[in-house]
Structure 1
């Protein structure tokens, strides 16, 4: 069999300031599992990963490429924002290749699985949740032409007008999952650009050291996807993958875990093992502000960590409580100070547009942004999708229909506390609060940037880049289009600005 695992293209080309493009790590895990445990050889399958998203491919070309490749099985990971246009593309593929079995996965299909198989008959099945074992077993059924797939965990399908639906699979010992099959996308360059500047230092990839999240922030769905089951890889397993990445020529790597810093002792052991093996690779991660231990940050810096992103979300305690964040503005202040003391670059992430947010709350957020010494800022307009708690609240309040499940939504579509224009305006104001204009502050940040290795490399790398000089003339302030600020869904624009 010929098997393709694909990411669909973006529904339109964007000119957002930040573009962080990492490999489709979920698909690469599925591929490595099927290959490592013999499912590909048993089914005589050839597997390919087709990352149309990173290739900035138009949907017409995506359809043409898939039809030309003629896969027997096409697995597609699709997000809420891209769902409608992706389904239109898959319908065209099905019309040209009616024998190709189309399988969907990802967060949106996981929570809308039954609706999908009832509405789109060309979808053979949906895999809910983690798909490594489920997809591999599905290949066996397809190879044997076995129509009974009810024994496979995580499957939703329509057979003889009856719904087959099984509980999602959860791999408890995630050390048993082979490292992602990065060789399947080795011809694609991944990395990070901001306002046209190339800020990728060396060959770039991503890594997952744990799955799941025990928290339940109501703007996020990762905890529902994993059923709040936190599973972590062993220190040996994590560092062995980093060591392999270094031998493969990777120079930088982002850790995708939701709460990498939750266990400071584990982080310390990972850092010590990185230093013991002399692994020279630049690392980035996210962290919660209530797990901001000074010693942990010092260990991270010594092990090669360059930056950390904190999901601060708001400067208003009322809004943090509404989001069920279980953090405080005071904790954010301490976290930023501790990370900065360890000489880590600190990115602050905020959300604008909560249904209960008032002008006073927004003013508190702007004051918080001005007070905290961030090196970069990310501000998102809040969106809701059919699988998160904000959507459920809106649906229960009669503000959104149960049938409107094929896309994500902007909060302002259903609540009148802030209009779309208000949200866009306050996103802009947040960035302006970030850019302090006093001479001493600018001079201090400039000296620190130039004195850092990454800063010097960025300047040299982009010396002839016209975008650099445009940013100098504009003092680096972001220039957003309103439709980009208001991109729908929890997968909204990640517009990071840097000082």
Structure 2
């Protein structure tokens, strides 16, 4: 019997911007991306007017679902997909689209990907909606957030199982158990209620990622590409660093596993042919291994996969001119630097990122990146342990100086530090002299402060610093693209009108 499996991403419509600065900040970010692709001769399909702006990695073709579909090739499983992200970006209800898909396609199993902590409540709502629309359907949940909140999610009467860590191994095993070919408690990484008790099976070994091939066939990839969605490509899994605010090492493991460079190039070329012009290569530290990064960059350039704009993320201690030359030849347009802060005393809490003069190190790195024809995207985390009014001021001064140095800085992304489940900040907040807000609805990067420091900077100072850094971004891009002033003003007015409509609807 063929099992019909519907894979969807947990997501919610973007919230209207809180004010004019937030609206313009998001719009200017979209225009910055548009300029990048224009300079490469791209097709400009990637730059919708998205009011959120500023987080490169959150919105893209569902890569996890593509890898799951690839792992199920040759099995008696029909993989279905509903592009809820596109519904959300269009301002429509992804929950309503999910219910419609469940009623139309009559799946036996609905798999929900729950990666984002802020949307735990949405995951529970989606599970309930599936059960109401089709009570016979099984609901399974996986993803980063689900892995570290598995017990809490599995207690829901609407969720039949949570599959922790990499789903390429656990999902086929769970489907075998559903078909009676395997014991349920033998499924690696399973957390579920069995005979009235909560059972948690040990996770299996890391999957063999070298030959992993995602299957975009069931995922409506052309629709995503035509809508201007960012393309995510994963060339490795694993991170040896274990930063206290990050889940990568805990989820993927400390050992880095690399995909075959030829398979990566095949994937880039396939998605570029569909219309994707902007690629985020999602490795935790793209330049972790010099030999690997050189071989991969050589392959991308040789195969012609350097035509779209690539974005890569790395650390300051994994960059030099030789590496930057390889990146530039491979089509990299943006290098994301995990800077976090300009203060050495805050970096004391972040493994491997301690520099005597972080501000100088960052400015030199941005200059070198620009000298190779690329731009830098500086990722900041405000409110980490050790943050004070003085360290916040130092980080803001760094952003000012980077913009004053020239056009090497593309964007300064001032996120708020979060104690996501699975991080050492969440497990041991007392060790960091902090308390954690357990209300996950506030855990988006641009909401309020949820990591409260026992000593040091107050929430008000942290939020004020973030706002001033947003103002620096806006001022810089007003100067760089003065011709966009009328267009941006019109879009800001439209977005603020949307906010007022939402407020009236709520009242």
Q: TM-score, normalised by structure 2?
A: 0.77
Q: Does 1:224 align with 2:244?
A: no
Q: What's the counterpart of residue 126 of structure 1?
A: 162
Q: Does 1:50 align with 2:82?
A: yes
Q: What's the counterpart of residue 505 of structure 2?
A: none
In structure 2, the CA distance between the partners of 1:358 and 1:177, relative to structure 1 (3 Å rule), is same
SS of 1:30's partner is: helix
Give the CA deviation at 1:63: 4.7
In structure 2, the CA distance between the partners of 1:51 and 1:351, relative to structure 1 (3 Å rule), is same
Q: What's the counterpart of residue 495 of structure 1?
A: none
1:130–1:170 Cα contact (<8 Å) kept:
no
Whole-Å separation in 2 of the counterparts to 1:442 and 1:115? 46
Q: What's the counterpart of residue 75 of structure 1?
A: 111
For residues 464-475 of structure 1, what are the structure 2 equivalents within 5 Å?
467-468=487-488
Q: What's the counterpart of residue 5 of structure 2?
A: 3
1:292–1:339 Cα contact (<8 Å) kept:
no
Structure 1 range deviating more: 76-85 or 330-339 = 330-339
1:110–1:126 Cα contact (<8 Å) kept:
yes
Give the CA deviation at 1:185: 2.3
Q: What's the counterpart of residue 150 of structure 1?
A: 185
For residues 191-202 of structure 1, what are the structure 2 equivalents within 5 Å?
none
Whole-Å separation in 1 of the counterparts to 2:162 and 2:267? 30
Q: What's the counterpart of residue 348 of structure 1?
A: 378
Whole-Å separation in 1 of the counterparts to 2:432 and 2:331? 48
In structure 2, the CA distance between the partners of 1:82 and 1:249, relative to structure 1 (3 Å rule), is closer
Whole-Å separation in 2 of the counterparts to 1:274 and 1:310? 22
Give the CA deviation at 1:297: 1.2
Give the CA deviation at 1:174: 0.8
2:385–2:432 Cα contact (<8 Å) kept:
no
In structure 2, the CA distance between the partners of 1:240 and 1:67, relative to structure 1 (3 Å rule), is closer
In structure 2, the CA distance between the partners of 1:408 and 1:180, relative to structure 1 (3 Å rule), is farther
Q: TM-score, normalised by structure 1?
A: 0.78
Give the CA deviation at 1:278: 3.1
Give the CA deviation at 1:383: 2.1
For residues 460-499 of structure 1, what are the structure 2 equivalents within 5 Å?
467-468=487-488
In structure 2, the CA distance between the partners of 1:351 and 1:325, relative to structure 1 (3 Å rule), is farther
Q: Does 1:364 align with 2:394?
A: yes
Give the CA deviation at 1:84: 1.4
Q: What's the counterpart of residue 333 of structure 1?
A: 363
Give the CA deviation at 1:469: 5.4
Give the CA deviation at 1:350: 0.8
Q: What's the counterpart of residue 137 of structure 2?
A: 100
Q: What's the counterpart of residue 427 of structure 2?
A: 392
More helix by share: 2
In structure 2, the CA distance between the partners of 1:383 and 1:148, relative to structure 1 (3 Å rule), is same
In structure 2, the CA distance between the partners of 1:415 and 1:50, relative to structure 1 (3 Å rule), is farther
Q: What's the counterpart of residue 88 of structure 1?
A: 125
Deviations 1:81-139 (A, max 9, x none): 1111330332232133221111011112111212322x312211111000012112222
Corresponding pairs, count: 438
SS of 1:81's partner is: helix
In structure 2, the CA distance between the partners of 1:156 and 1:408, relative to structure 1 (3 Å rule), is farther
Q: What's the counterpart of residue 64 of structure 2?
A: 26
Whole-Å separation in 2 of the counterparts to 1:182 and 1:390? 39
In structure 2, the CA distance between the partners of 1:344 and 1:241, relative to structure 1 (3 Å rule), is same
Give the CA deviation at 1:183: 5.3
2:242–2:351 Cα contact (<8 Å) kept:
yes
SS of 2:292's partner is: helix
Q: Does 1:240 align with 2:266?
A: yes
In structure 2, the CA distance between the partners of 1:326 and 1:82, relative to structure 1 (3 Å rule), is same
Query: 203, 212, 216: which is aligned to 1:181?
Result: 216
Q: What's the counterpart of residue 266 of structure 1?
A: 292
In structure 2, the CA distance between the partners of 1:397 and 1:334, relative to structure 1 (3 Å rule), is closer
Give the CA deviation at 1:53: 2.8
Give the CA deviation at 1:186: 2.1
In structure 2, the CA distance between the partners of 1:362 and 1:124, relative to structure 1 (3 Å rule), is same
Q: Which runs of 5+ in 2 are unaligned?
A: 27-52, 444-448, 494-498, 500-507
Q: What's the counterpart of residue 342 of structure 2?
A: 315
2:191–2:200 Cα contact (<8 Å) kept:
yes
Whole-Å separation in 2 of the counterparts to 1:273 and 1:394? 44
Deviations 1:360-403 (A, max 9, x none): 1111111222223412221112222232211222367897699x
1:8–1:51 Cα contact (<8 Å) kept:
no
